[in-house]
Structure 1
Amino acid sequence: MSAGTPDRSRRARKRAKRHVETTQFDAFARRILRAYARRVAEGDVEALRSLAGLSSEVDAVTRLAVAGLRKSPYSYSWSEIADRLGVSRQAAQMRYGDRTARGALDRRLLDAGLAVSVATLVQVFADHFPGVPAASVCPGCGYRFPDQVLDCPTNATVRPLLRRRRGEDPDAVARLTCEQQESLLKAHSRRITRAARRAGTEPPTTPAYQARSLFDPAGKDALS
């Protein structure tokens, strides 16, 4: 009995799980995605929907990863997580925090109220910008965009106000990327989107437009 123990020990060592670095996992996942895209590109049009749906899966598993990093024994702060994601602390918390916060107005707007600065509006707009090409969910709050809608409730609120006030702080506005500035000034932003209606801040359609939000007490947000 005892003579066989060393053999079992050797077999156990041989079966020991090989440690794989996270970077190797990352490279493997990227290879799989590229291979999947090639398969679809070779004529499998029916799989296109499933391929596109992987973006929501990535968002979901990223949220799980963030939740794990936030818990003990790691207890990473939102600032540390945001730094790795390349976004602001508020944006990281809104997107990956409690589900009830997703799609809600950015806390920075609510905290500042009527005193909100152009610099804050610029940062909020940038954090919630869907990107080019547009993502399927808002990178700032996790809001899932309906068809033909590219503003989450936060940017539906910020967009008309920032357009009107952009001349107050040109240096702050200049921090937006070319794509973000183009999006801010596009004529299509006049459209009343479903996101704007949900936010309760419809863009004006007549000169008699009345205030509908905390940020437009005088009803002056009509776009020229």
Structure 2
Amino acid sequence: MTATPDPDRKPRKRAKRHTETADFDAFARRILKAYARRVAAGDVEALASMVTLTAEVDAMVRLAVAGLRAEPYSYSWDEIARRLGTSRQAAQQRYGDKFERHGLDPRLLQAGLTVSVATLVRVFADHYPGSPMPSRCPGCGYPYPDNVSECPTNATVRPLLKQRRGEDRDAVALLSPDQFADLLKPKSRTTRATVRQSATYAPDPNRPALPLFDLHGEDPTR
């Protein structure tokens, strides 16, 4: 016999499950091990995608450290270094120092680990240096050192957006062709050191002079 539901009885709310951070850690480790077993079982094409997880994990650690350093937590570098099992100097050199002088874009810190692809696209575009490459990031004013072609924000966004670009193709389509090509080829830009070297190179007197900002060294008369 089926019981007749009482219309005046309020449905019982399911108790909210509290998940400890250690549970997330164990779950992530199980996923990675399962991923490795699937690749090891003959899926050689997935090997390249698996390697990109290293860059994504590093970007996530950088976001986590930035959040711990910010208000209201304000953890010191000594406290962070102690958890990382390294020295204060090593922790600050990797996750702070020059990165801290021009911190991560506030949109990343506000979204944290729930950041959307659309937000990643907007942040990447705002901090994209373009060509010819300026001396400072147009998005945050970060001064590019020699042989460095992106600010700390885009160094964090790039691996995440590259990995997750398939989740929101409409948002990614808002990138310009140059920005999208640069996203897929992070080492393709000419650094300022190379620009200076080409600018100080003594040209052949019998060859037409190159424009000052011809970054690729191509002869414009061809």
The two structures have a TM-score, normalised by structure 2, of 0.40
Q: Which has the higher contact order (CA 8 A, sep 6+)?
A: 2
